[in-house]
Structure 1
Amino acid sequence: MNTKYIDLIDQSFYFPQEEFNLKGNTLTFHDIDLMKLVEQYGGPLKFTYLPKISENINRAKQWFANAIEKNQYQGNYNYCYCTKSSHFNHVLNEVLKNDVHIETSSAFDIDIVEKLKAKGKITNDTYVICNGFKREQYVQNIARLINEGHNNCIPIIDNYEELELLSESIDGKYQIGIRIASEEEPKFEFYTSRLGIGYKNIVPFYNRQVKDNEQVELKMLHFFINTGIRDTAYYWNELLKCLKAYIRLKKECPSLDSLNIGGGFPIKNSLAFEYDYQYMIDEIINQINIACAEAKVPVPNIFTEFGSFTVGESGGAIYEVLYQKQQNDREKWNMINSSFITTLPDTWAINKRFVMLAVNRWNEEYERVLLGGLTCDSDDYYNSEQHMNAIYLPKYKKDKPLYIGFFNTGAYQETIGGFGGLQHCLIPQPKHILIDKNEDGELVTTLFSEQQKSEDLLKILGYNNS
């Protein structure tokens, strides 16, 4: 009878997988011995495996290169990283090793760009695509960047007032994009995105505010879908509407030469995850080719903005099961030594699921459990996996510590969770480890941040101030 945890995983999925394997009785992730990591640094901990960032960037660039060649596409491709997914210096350093560009969302992003320029990580040839609703500080920072010679900084116009605000602060000519206010998915609470300018209003806006403005050159149309790039009728319908808008605008505006298909690729959230990235890119390029050929307009250069896809699969978190509470005949609660609300806030806020696996004791019997965090909040739990309506883990034994890992958590969790700040119920933020490879291909680990201490939180709260 197959009663061991390894049997459950083996009969439920194809295992091992590209990034997951076993070393004896314990799990490895990209050849990282996770139990050794725990033994060296203790738990709970979070980690970032930096080489995965470059790997995903170059996979996407190759997929687009394949599609461009296959479809004899005449435009260029530019990969942009959305800094909002993870602003950390170690992430941007890894991203910028790969000849890519940057998409920003707010005023302080520009300060980061300037720091990176000072270090030689970004040059004036790097596109800086400035998205988001722009108020005074953001406008001033964009203007400063352009006025200092960064002509490839392209603010994306989100509302009717931004163009005037930018023109008042920018010296000389500059390029812009216009964001389309796409229609939301039918099941969404709202009909139209709050961001951008409506399809029907884009050409009138161009004719009214841009066409005769000698200071401004329209270069880009920006198309963003909140659900990401997925093979659904909704996505293809919105892309078709976007292409119609691009063609109408291109016929009015010769300088328009770029289409930004924002909205990222999905990342692996289960061992059963399947997604044909190459097919989707082939089809997008093919659709653009067909639409432009029929309208007799040149195809645009393509920009993408990948945030989660770039950095998400580089991250992970490891917790120890501290105790098991048998609350009734059916519910066994495994209590972890941290909090889901604070360390993986998307599991609480939007019911997001990550790849979750036991780190050790794979050759032992399993049981069905629920996972609870340390806070006194009833919502601090994780109760099911993406692929099944339950969680199964090796049986809890008080004298045999059990560690569990959550994987592909590298996007948004630190910024949403308030890295370095106050945490719910003052549960301390875990230590964070960076994992890289040296010139010989050997794994190298570095402690990026220690677990928060009482004095860190007391200082924020004002108790340790003189």
Structure 2
Amino acid sequence: MKTKYIDLIDQTFYFPQEEFSLENNQLQFHGINLMALIAQYGAPLKFTYLPKISENINKAKTWFDNAIKANNYAGTYNYCYCTKSSHFQHVLNEALKNDIHIETSSAFDMDIVENLKAQGKINDDTYVICNGFKRDQYIQNIARLINYGHQKCIPIIDNYEELSLLSDTIDGKFQVGIRIASEEEPKFEFYTSRLGIGYRNIVPFYNNQIKENSKVELKMLHFFINTGIRDTAYYWNELLKCLKVYINLKKICPSLDSLNIGGGFPIKNSLAFNYDYEYMINEIVNQIQIACEEAQVDVPNIFTEFGSFTVGESGGAIYEVLYQKQQNDREKWNMINSSFITTLPDTWAINKRFIMLAVNRWDDEYERVLLGGLTCDSDDYYNSEQHMNAIYLPKYKKEKPLYIGFFNTGAYQETIGGFGGLQHCLIPQPKHIIIDRDKEGNLITSVFSEQQTSEQLLSILGYRKQYPEIMKSFESNEQELITIL
């Protein structure tokens, strides 16, 4: 009878997979010995495997290049990275090795862009696509970059007021894009995205505010689907509606030459994950080609904004199972030595699914469990609602430590969790490791940040550390009491 954890995985999934393999009953991730990592740095532990960022960028660029060649497509392809997915310097440095462009979301993003430009990481040929609702500081920062000569900074107009604000602040001529307010999936609580300008209003907006404006040139139409690029009737319908707007605009606006199909690719959230990236890309390019040929307009240059796809699959988190609580006849709670709300907030906030596997003890018998975090919050857990199905792990044994890993966690978790700041129930952020490879392929690891200390958290809260003085006072009073006695 096959009752071992390795048997369960073999019976349920195709294993090993591209990034996962097994050696001595211990999990390997991209050839990284995770138990050796734990032995060196301890757990809980978060890590970023930098080579995966470049790998995914180059996969996407290759897929688009192949689709463009297969369809004899006359336009070009430009890969943009959404900085909001992860703003960390090590992430941007790795991504920018691959001749890509940047999409920003806020005023402070522009400070990062200027920092990267000062370091020579980007130059005047790098497109900076500025999305988001723009208020004073964001407008000022965009204008500063353009006024200093970065002509490939393209603010995407999100509302009717932004164009005049930009025109008042930018010195010379500049290019803009317009964001389409796409209709949301039927399951949403609202019908139309709060971002952008409605389909029917875009051509009138161009005619009223851009066409006769000598300072402004419309270059890009921005199309974003909140649920990402998926092979659904909803996605294809919205894409075709977007193409109709592009064609109508192109016929009256010769400067329009780019279509930004924002909305990212999904990333692997289970060992059963199946998504045909090449088919989707080829079909998107083909649909754009067909629509433009039928309308007898030039095809647009294609821009994409991939955030999670760029950085998500580079991240992971490792925890130790501290204790098991049998709460009733059916439910066993494995308590981890950290908090899901602190370290993987998307599991708590939006029931986000990640790949979860045991790191060691694959040759042991398995059991069905629930996973609980350390906080006193009843929502600090991970179960079958977040996971693809029921959670099975090697049986808990107090004398045999069990480690579990969550993978493809590299997008948004640090930002949403408030990296370096306060955490729920003051459960500290774990140590974070950067993993890279040298030219010979050897692993290089370094500590990006140590686990948070009580002093750091208390400082944020406004407390001054008084423990030494309190102890001295206590010791002095104790000595006086002894003398009296």
Partner of residue 20, structure 1: 20
| Larger CA Rg, structure 1 vs 2 | 2
Partners of 2:353 and 2:388 within 8 A in 1 = no
The letter for the 2-side match of 1:4 is: K
> Per-residue displacement from partner, 1:199-241 (whole Å, max 9, x unpaired)?
0000000000000000000000000000000000000000000
Give how far 1:436 is off: 0.1
- Residues of 2 paired with 1:465 and 1:25: CA distance? 46
Partner of residue 464, structure 1: 464
- Residues of 1 paired with 2:126 and 2:317: CA distance? 33
- Residues of 2 paired with 1:28 and 1:386: CA distance? 24
TM-score of the aligned structures, taking structure 1 as reference length: 0.99
Partner of residue 331, structure 1: 331
- Residues of 1 paired with 2:387 and 2:352: CA distance? 12
The letter for the 2-side match of 1:405 is: G
Partner of residue 210, structure 1: 210
- Residues of 1 paired with 2:159 and 2:187: CA distance? 25
Partner of residue 473, structure 2: none
Q: How does 1:78-227 map to 2 (within 5 A)?
A: 78-227=78-227
- Residues of 1 paired with 2:125 and 2:245: CA distance? 28
Partner of residue 44, structure 1: 44
> Per-residue displacement from partner, 1:112-156 (whole Å, max 9, x unpaired)?
000000100000100000000000000000000000000000000
Q: How does 1:349-368 map to 2 (within 5 A)?
A: 349-368=349-368
Partner of residue 277, structure 1: 277
**SS at structure 1 position matched to 2:333:** strand
Note if 1:393 corresponds to 2:388. no
The letter for the 2-side match of 1:218 is: L
> Per-residue displacement from partner, 1:32-55 (whole Å, max 9, x unpaired)?
000000000001010000000000
Which ranges in structure 2 are unaligned for 5 or more consecutive residues? 467-485
> Per-residue displacement from partner, 1:147-176 (whole Å, max 9, x unpaired)?
000000000000000000001110000000
Partner of residue 72, structure 2: 72
Give how far 1:378 is off: 0.3
Partners of 2:354 and 2:387 within 8 A in 1 = no
Note if 1:301 corresponds to 2:317. no
Partner of residue 376, structure 1: 376
Give how far 1:465 is off: 7.9
**SS at structure 2 position matched to 1:432:** strand
Partner of residue 246, structure 1: 246
Partner of residue 57, structure 2: 57
- Residues of 2 paired with 1:337 and 1:382: CA distance? 13
Q: What is the RMSD of the two structures over their aligned residues, measured on CA atoms? A: 0.9
Partner of residue 258, structure 2: 258
The change in CA–CA distance for 1:465 and 1:218 in structure 2 (over 3 A counts) is: farther
Partner of residue 479, structure 2: none
Identity %: 84
- Residues of 2 paired with 1:405 and 1:85: CA distance? 21
> Per-residue displacement from partner, 1:72-106 (whole Å, max 9, x unpaired)?
00000000000000000000000000000000000
> Per-residue displacement from partner, 1:359-394 (whole Å, max 9, x unpaired)?
000000000000000000000000127675310000
Partners of 1:26 and 1:361 within 8 A in 2 = yes
- Residues of 2 paired with 1:303 and 1:386: CA distance? 32
Q: How does 1:417-428 map to 2 (within 5 A)?
A: 417-428=417-428
- Residues of 2 paired with 1:245 and 1:187: CA distance? 25
The letter for the 1-side match of 2:122 is: I
- Residues of 1 paired with 2:297 and 2:236: CA distance? 20
The change in CA–CA distance for 1:445 and 1:351 in structure 2 (over 3 A counts) is: same
The letter for the 2-side match of 1:176 is: V
Partners of 2:48 and 2:410 within 8 A in 1 = yes
Partners of 2:180 and 2:196 within 8 A in 1 = yes
- Residues of 2 paired with 1:134 and 1:218: CA distance? 18
- Residues of 2 paired with 1:226 and 1:292: CA distance? 25
Partner of residue 317, structure 2: 317
Partners of 1:157 and 1:163 within 8 A in 2 = yes
- Residues of 2 paired with 1:61 and 1:443: CA distance? 26
Partner of residue 341, structure 1: 341
- Residues of 2 paired with 1:107 and 1:388: CA distance? 37
The letter for the 2-side match of 1:359 is: V
The letter for the 2-side match of 1:126 is: T
Partner of residue 228, structure 1: 228
The letter for the 1-side match of 2:90 is: H
**SS at structure 2 position matched to 1:347:** helix
- Residues of 2 paired with 1:225 and 1:388: CA distance? 24
Give how far 1:464 is off: 2.0
Partners of 1:270 and 1:386 within 8 A in 2 = no
- Residues of 2 paired with 1:208 and 1:170: CA distance? 20
The letter for the 2-side match of 1:264 is: G
**SS at structure 1 position matched to 2:145:** helix
Partner of residue 415, structure 2: 415
Give how far 1:23 is off: 1.0
Partners of 1:272 and 1:387 within 8 A in 2 = no
**SS at structure 2 position matched to 1:255:** coil
TM-score of the aligned structures, taking structure 2 as reference length: 0.95
The letter for the 1-side match of 2:210 is: V
Partners of 1:228 and 1:264 within 8 A in 2 = yes
The letter for the 1-side match of 2:381 is: Y
- Residues of 1 paired with 2:140 and 2:446: CA distance? 37
> Per-residue displacement from partner, 1:323-378 (whole Å, max 9, x unpaired)?
00000100100000000011000000000110000000000000000000000000
- Residues of 2 paired with 1:447 and 1:264: CA distance? 30
The change in CA–CA distance for 1:149 and 1:388 in structure 2 (over 3 A counts) is: closer
- Residues of 2 paired with 1:240 and 1:366: CA distance? 49
- Residues of 1 paired with 2:195 and 2:358: CA distance? 41
**SS at structure 1 position matched to 2:448:** strand
> Per-residue displacement from partner, 1:251-286 (whole Å, max 9, x unpaired)?
110000000000000000000000000000000000
Partners of 2:351 and 2:386 within 8 A in 1 = no
Partners of 2:347 and 2:386 within 8 A in 1 = no
Give the aligned length: 466
The letter for the 1-side match of 2:53 is: I
Which ranges in structure 1 are unaligned for 5 or more consecutive residues? none
Partners of 2:270 and 2:388 within 8 A in 1 = no
